[in-house]
Amino acid sequence: MTTPTTTPVAEGLFAETAAGPRLLGSKCTTCETPYFPKAAICHNPNCNDSKLEDAEFGPHGKLWSYTVQYYPPPPPAKYDEPYKPYAIGLIDLPEGLRVLAQVSTVDPESTVGGADVELVIERLYTSPEGNEVTTFKFRQS
Amino acid sequence: MREVAVLGVGMHPWGKFADKSITDLSRTAVEAALKDANVAWPEIEAVSAASSRFSGGKGWGLNGNDIVEEMGSTGIPVYNLSAGCAAGGNAFNIGYTLVASGLYDKVLVFGAEKMPKGMIQTSGVEEETDPEYLRQVSVGMPGPAFWGMLCSQRMAEYGTTEEQLARIAVKAHDNAVHNEYARFRKKFTLEDVLNSNMVSYPLRLYEICPISDGAAAVVLCSAEEARKHTTDPVWVAASTVATYRYDDGIPRGLASVVPPARTHHSEAKLAVSKAFDDASLAPKDVSLVELQDNTVYYELAFPEEWGLCEPGEAESLVEKGETTPVGSLPINPSGGFLSFGEATTAMGVFQVCELAWQLRGEAGERQVPNAKVGLAQTLGLGGNGTATILKR
Ligand SMILES: [Zn+2]
C-alpha cells in the first residue's frame, strides 16, 4: 500500500501561502494589467514598456455570472464518477482580473449571481491510483 | 478595389452522412454553385477554402487542394484558411479580396465539414502552455458553459425569461421547416423546448446547436463578368475580418481583464462595424441578418452589440415576432445553426448562400419581403470574427 498523495492539476497555477490560498499570476508594473496564469510579456497594446513581476491574486472576489454544468465535459477534463453537476463562474477580483473557475457549493443550484466568493483549493477528482488532484475554486460566502 | 459580385451559390444539405466522404459533400456543393453561376470548372482561376480540423485536407487543412484534385487539377492557386469556426468567413474574405484586388476575375470559395461524434474539445493541443487546454483540465468547462454564463448574466441584468429564450429556438425551427438544406425541419413548440434537458443553465438542449456535416460553395466574380450573366447581380458590399481586443471581458484562457464597460465578442463587433463602414451602410439599412447562433443567447446579445437594436431591447423584439422573416429585424431566416447544426468551417459560406437566395427573392416560404441588404457574421476559436454584407 502506498500513501495517497495530493497533486495540483497543473504546476504554478495556485498555492497555499501563509496568508491562505492564492492564484499565482503576474502584473505589469508599467500599466498595472494583471495576468493569470503568469505571462511572459504584457499584452496591452497601449503599454509601451512591458515590466512583468510575479503577483498573487485572491482570496476575495465577486461572482459576475455563473452556470450549472449538467453534463460531463469532454476529455481532457476529468471528474469523479458518477458525474455530479457543478457550478462554473466568472469571478471578478479587485485586482482587475476576471477569472474562470468552478464554484464550490454543496448544491450548485443554490449559486447566486453577484455573490461574494472566496478562493479555495479543493479536490477536482481522485485518480484511479487513489491520488487527490486539486484545483482552484471559489466558494460562495 | 473593384466591385465583386456573388455569381453562384450551392450547398449540400446539412445532416449526418455516414456513407459520404467530405469530398462527396464538397463536390455536390461546388457543382451546385458552378451550375448556379453558369460557369465551367476550368474557368475558375483560384480557390479560397476553409481548413477543416476534423476531416480531409490530408490532415493539414488542405481542403482546397482536395477539391481541386476532385474537380480537375488545372494548376490554379489554392488558399486554405484556418480560423476555427470563423474559417468559412475568412475564406470568403480572401476570395473577395482576390477578385476585388483585380488579381482574378472568377474565384471559388468553399467550406465543408464532416464532424466527429459527440461533444468536441475546443483545442486540438494537449499542452499546459495552451490556454484552452489548461482551462479544460483545471475548470472542466465545455463550450455551452460559456454561453450559459453569458446568458445567465443577461437574465440578471435585463430580466430575460426562460420562455423568451425558448421562443428563439421555436422561431428558428419555424423557418427551417421551409429550408430543404436544413437538418432539423420539424416544428418545435414552446413546451418541446422548455421540456428539453438543461445542459448549461439557463440553456437547454434545444437552445444549443448540435454538430453536423455539410458543405457550401460560392462563385465570386468581377462586375464585368457578372454583367455578362445578369443585369441585376448580388453585390458584396463589404467583407471584413477582425480579432478580439485586449480589453474584452470574455476570458479566452483562464482569465481576462475586468473590462472598462460591457465589452464582449469584440472580434464580431469590430468585424461588423468595419463592414458597415466599408459598405457606407448603417444598421437601419439591414433587411436581414444571418448570425452565428450556436445558442439562442447570441440572438439577444449580438443585435444590441452591433447597434441593430437598443441594449435590452432584443427580448421584446423576439416576443413581438420582429425577428421572423416578416418582422422588422429578420434574424436567421435560414433556420440558423440551431436548425442546421454546426458544420464548423462551412458555416460562413452557408450564411452567404442564404443571403444570396434572400436577396434574389428565391427563398420561398422563408423569404424576407423586399430584401435589399443582408449581413452575415461568424466567430471562431483564437478570437477570430468575420462579417459579410451583400446588397442588391
Ligand atoms: Zn503593461
Whether the pLDDT of residue B378 is over 90: the answer is: yes
Nearest beta carbon to residue A100 from set B135, B151, B202: B135
pLDDT of residue B197: 98
> What's the gap in Å between B80 CA and the centre of ligand 1?
35
For residues B179 and B75, what is the distance between their CA atoms, to the nearest angstrom?
A: 36
Whether the pLDDT of residue A1 is over 60: the answer is: no
Whether the pLDDT of residue B390 is over 80: the answer is: yes
Start-to-end C-alpha separation, chain B? 19
Whether the pLDDT of residue A69 is over 60: the answer is: yes
For residues B120 and B146, what is the distance between their CA atoms, to the nearest angstrom?
A: 14
A117 Cβ contact list (under 8 Å, min separation 6) = A60, A61, A62, A63, A89, A91, A103, A138, A139, A140, A141
Tell me the residues of chain B between 178 and 217 that have a Cβ less than 8 Å away from chain A: 197-203
Contacts of A75 in chain B (CB under 8 A): 121, 136
**H-helix segments, B141-222:** 143-158, 162-176, 190-194
Q: What is the pLDDT of residues B233-281, one digit of tens each?
A: 999 999 999 999 999 999 999 999 999 888 899 999 999 999 999 999 9
pLDDT, mean of residues B217-230: 97
Q: Which residue has the cell 443571403?
A: B355
Cell numbers at B349, concatenated: 459560406
Contact B198 A9 (CB under 8 A): no
pLDDT of residue A3: 64
Contact A9 B137 (CB under 8 A): yes
Specify whether the CB–CB gap between B157 and B308 falls below 8 A: no
**H-helix segments, chain B:** 22-37, 63-71, 87-100, 131-138, 143-158, 162-176, 190-194, 223-229, 266-279, 297-305, 314-319, 336-340, 347-360
Contact B255 A65 (CB under 8 A): no
Test mutation, B149, B205, B211, chain A, max A CBs within 10 A:
B149
Cis check: omega of the bond before A21, within 30 degrees of 0: no
Nearest CA in chain A to B148: A67
DSSP letter string, B358-370: HHHT--GGGPPTT
Q: What percent of chain B has pLDDT over 70?
A: 98
pLDDT, mean of residues A13-19: 96
pLDDT of residue B120: 64
* Beta partners for residue B373, in sequence order: B391
Contacts of B197 in chain A (CB under 8 A): 70
pLDDT of residue B263: 86
Cell numbers at B50, concatenated: 476553409
Q: What is the pLDDT of residues B300-334, one digit of tens each?
A: 999 999 999 999 999 999 999 999 999 999 999 99
* Beta partners for residue A26, in sequence order: A35, A54
For residues B118 and B311, what is the distance between their CA atoms, to the nearest angstrom?
A: 35
Contact A73 B137 (CB under 8 A): no
- Which among B96, B107, B109, B108 has a CA at the least distance from the CA of B2? B96
3-state secondary structure (DSSP) of residue B145: helix
Measured CA to CA in angstroms, residue B123 lies from A43, B84, B387 at distances of 21, 10, 23
Contact A73 B136 (CB under 8 A): yes
What is the number of H-type helices and E-type strands within chain B? Answer: 13, 12
Contact A102 B139 (CB under 8 A): yes
pLDDT of residue B143: 86
Contact B254 A35 (CB under 8 A): no
User: What's the pTM value of the predicted model, to 2 decimals?
Assistant: 0.96
Measured in degrees and rounded to the nearest 5, phi and psi for residue B78 equal -130, 135
Interface confidence: ipTM more than 0.90: yes
Rg of chain B (C-alpha set): 20
For residues B91 and B347, what is the distance between their CA atoms, to the nearest angstrom?
A: 11
> What's the gap in Å between B39 CA and the centre of ligand 1?
53
Task: Work out the minimum CA distance from A19 to partner chain B, whole angstroms.
Answer: 22
Quick check: B159 contacting A, CB < 8 Å? no
Residue-range domain boundaries for chain A: 6-140
pLDDT band, residue A2 (cuts 50/70/90): low
Contact B140 A92 (CB under 8 A): no
pLDDT of residue B123: 65
Whether the pLDDT of residue B118 is over 80: the answer is: no
Nearest CA in chain A to B150: A65
Q: What is the pLDDT of residues B143-164, one digit of tens each?
A: 899 999 999 999 999 999 999 9
* Beta partners for residue B242, in sequence order: B385
pLDDT of residue B127: 79
For residues B124 and B255, what is the distance between their CA atoms, to the nearest angstrom?
A: 20
Mean pLDDT across chain B: 96
Whether the pLDDT of residue A105 is over 80: the answer is: yes
Q: What is the pLDDT of residues B348-359, one digit of tens each?
A: 999 999 999 999
Nearest beta carbon to residue B251 from set A77, A100, A114: A100
pLDDT band, residue B379 (cuts 50/70/90): very high
Nearest CA in chain B to A57: B255
Q: What is the pLDDT of residues A112-131, one digit of tens each?
A: 999 999 999 999 999 999 99
Query: Helix B22-37 and helix B63-71: axis angle, to 10°?
Result: 70
Residue B219 is classified by DSSP as E
Task: Find the length of chain B.
Answer: 392
pLDDT of residue B121: 63
Quick check: B158 contacting A, CB < 8 Å? no
> What's the gap in Å between B262 CA and the centre of ligand 1?
22
Q: How crowded is residue B127: how many other Cβ atoms within 10 Å of its Cβ?
A: 8
Contacts of B118 in chain A (CB under 8 A): 74
Q: Which residue has the cell 444571418?
A: B290
For residues A113 and A34, what is the distance between their CA atoms, to the nearest angstrom?
A: 23
pLDDT, mean of residues B183-188: 97
* Beta partners for residue B384, in sequence order: B243, B380
Specify whether the CB–CB gap between A8 and A14 falls below 8 A: yes
Measured CA to CA in angstroms, residue B165 lies from A62, B13, B159, B162, B325 at distances of 26, 27, 11, 5, 18
For residues A71 and B266, what is the distance between their CA atoms, to the nearest angstrom?
A: 29
3-state secondary structure (DSSP) of residue B10: strand
Start-to-end C-alpha separation, chain A? 38
Q: What percent of chain B has pLDDT over 90?
A: 92
- Which among A101, A66, A23 has a CA at the least distance from the CA of B139? A101
Task: Work out the minimum CA distance from A90 to partner chain B, whole angstroms.
Answer: 8
For residues A69 and B371, what is the distance between their CA atoms, to the nearest angstrom?
A: 40
For residues B53 and B196, what is the distance between their CA atoms, to the nearest angstrom?
A: 30
Nearest beta carbon to residue A76 from set B133, B150, B201: B133
Containing A46, the helix (H) or strand (E) segment is none
Contact B139 A135 (CB under 8 A): yes
